[in-house]
Amino acid sequence: MTTRRSSWLLRACAILMALLAPARLVFSFCGQMQQTFSGERLRQRGRIPSMPAAHVLGPELVEGIAESSSLLTSFSDQAGNINGVLFQASLPAYLVFLYFLNYEKNNTPPLVCFGFAFLLAFVLLTIPSGIISKSSFSVILADSDWLHGSAESLLTCTNILIVLGFRGALTGNEELASGNSGTARSVALGWFVTVVCTLALGVPLGFQAHTPFLAGLGALEGFSEPVNALSIPTWIVHWSTVFEFLIAMSLAWSYADAVGNPKWKGLTWGMFPSSVSSVFALTFHIFYNQIPWILTGQALCTFVGNCTLALATYRIATSNGWTLSELDPRQALKRLIESNAENAEEKTEKRNESKINGFDISKVSQIELMNGPLLIAEVVILTLLFAYGTKYGELMFGSIFQSPDSNAAAVAVVLLPVLLVAYTIYSQSPDLRNGQLPALAPVANDK
């Protein structure tokens, strides 16, 4: 049995905590540059009040920023700008990704397939969330904490399902990997229903634009911050989503070794742009939702990420025998007829084999992963450290994160974790280190 830790990407991200101190110097320098070249101009436009830098942005200023930068259209009216075009264009690529991921000969854990498909629930509910935030409160979705946190939590559920599916397969837990017990799927359904009810009942129950998600549980007293600052529960949702996705990337890499197909490692690289998209989203919130180009970066990475996911699973499927003939409806009809022609006895025999829902766990070598409770504890601790560190730590940087023109600092915030994760994956890829790029099409004996 191979021994492997399942969170090498997660552990790499923990290094960021050690970089916070020098990062403060970088951000302070960026802030001084911004103040030198554009501070007075910002005051003339009314975006930064003539008061000490430690003073917080008021509700009127936040609303003025939203109006002047047209950020309302970035979430609620995305169809009218480049962000909306990119987000919409990414959906067909994601559906292609789901098609190839579910190719039976890939032997993908069913719960992994269900988890990736469940992301569509998050996409679906961001639509009414954005409509409610604009029509009821005239703010962008990111500025309405209870709407934002509720919808975003579905992304957390998605990543948990993916992690559980991969871990079940790699540890030989067929029931978990297949989701055959129905527990994980039932919890996901209940989660979805809870979010739907929250969105439907929030306004009638008197929730306001800046009502904190989960009543702002865990908030510390004595801190003054902008009115649109994310609550601790919403920051927890965001950071847990990031760490869970990194774990899923690590597990996809391990799955390649477990099934003897290196093409699965391409899925980790395919997931990388999506992780970058999450970094852009976090950066947008770190700067109090004031810098429009960050949203465009997020939308672009979402589009690129869905395309790379589709490409990665295409390579996996073709390595397992997928051809264009699979798209022939006559072949699909033939397989359906043959399937229906099987007698009950044959079906019973198949159910008794180690193959459930097209998944054969006997083809997956077991890997000893980090103990489940220990992994959960690690994720919880890192999530809380980053959630509290982000919400209250950034207040120590003065007006840098509260200025809509802190572009240099925003670039630094994006690049730091992205380069760290990219280098971590690169260091695990001997072919790339040797200058060898992977082939798009399958080659003989390449498995």
Least confident of 86-90, 165-169, 200-204: 86-90
- Residue 417: band (very low, low, confident or very high) from pLDDT cuts 50, 70, 90: very high
CB atoms within 10 A of CB 354: 10
Residue 277, pLDDT score: 97
Average pLDDT of the chain, as a whole number: 82
Q: Which residue has the tokens 């395309």?
A: 307
> Looking at the predicted structure, is the pLDDT value of residue 8 above 70?
no
Mean pLDDT for 87-94 is 94
Q: What is the average per-residue pLDDT within 133-149?
A: 95
Is 197 part of a structural domain of the chain?
yes
Tokens of 97: 């990704």
What distance in Å separates the CA atoms of residue 191 and residue 3, rounded to the nearest whole number? Answer: 34
Question: Would you say residue 346 has pLDDT above 80?
Answer: no
Instruction: Count other Cβ atoms within 10 Å, centred on residue 68.
Output: 13
Residue 423 lies in a domain: yes
The verdict on residue 346 lying in a domain is no
pLDDT tens for 142-193 read 999 999 999 999 999 999 999 999 999 999 999 999 988 789 999 999 999 9
Selection from 39-43, 333-337, 442-446 with the highest mean pLDDT: 333-337
| Cβ-proximal residues to 248 (8 Å cutoff; 6+ apart), any chain | 159, 162, 163, 166, 271
pLDDT tens-place string over residues 358-402? 799 999 999 989 999 999 999 999 999 999 999 999 998 878 999
- Given a cut of 90, is residue 119 above it in pLDDT? yes
Q: What is the pLDDT of residue 412?
A: 96
Is residue 126 situated within a structural domain?
Answer: yes
Domain assignment of residue 136, given as a range = 2-46+66-337+351-430
Structure tokens at 305: 């990420």
Are 198 and 132 contacting, i.e. CB atoms less than 8 angstroms apart? no
Q: For residue 349, is pLDDT > 60?
A: no
pLDDT of the residue at 66: 40
Report if residue 128 sits inside a domain.
yes
Phi, psi of 87, rounded to the nearest 5 degrees: -60, -45
Quote the distance between the C-alpha of residue 408 and its chain's center.
Answer: 24
Domain count, the chain: 1
Is a pLDDT exceeding 70 seen at residue 132?
yes
CA 423 to chain centre: 19
pLDDT, position 20: 45
pLDDT digits (tens, 9 = 90+) for 69-78: 344 444 444 5
Q: What is the pLDDT of residue 242?
A: 96
Regarding predicted confidence, which is higher, 87 or 42?
87
Q: Alpha-carbon distance 146 to 150, whole Å? A: 6
Out of 44-48, 297-301, 405-409, which region has the weakest mean confidence (pLDDT)? 44-48
| Sole residue written with tokens 């990219």 | 422
List the structure tokens of 420.
Answer: 């760290």
Q: What's the pTM?
A: 0.81
Higher pLDDT, 242 or 333: 242
| Mean pLDDT of the region 277-291 | 96
Q: Is residue 400 part of a domain?
A: yes
Residue 216: inside a domain: yes
- Contact between 318 and 441 under an 8 Å Cβ cutoff? The reply is yes
For 60, the token pair is 């009127």
Position 122 in a domain? yes
Provide mean pLDDT across the span 291-313: 96
* 20: amino acid identity, one letter: L
Q: How far is CA 217 from the centre of its chain?
A: 23
pLDDT of residue 341: 61
DSSP letters for 224-257: ---TTPPPHHHHHHHHHHHHHHHHHHHHHHHHHH
State residue 203's pLDDT score: 97
pLDDT-based confidence at 3, cuts 50/70/90? very low
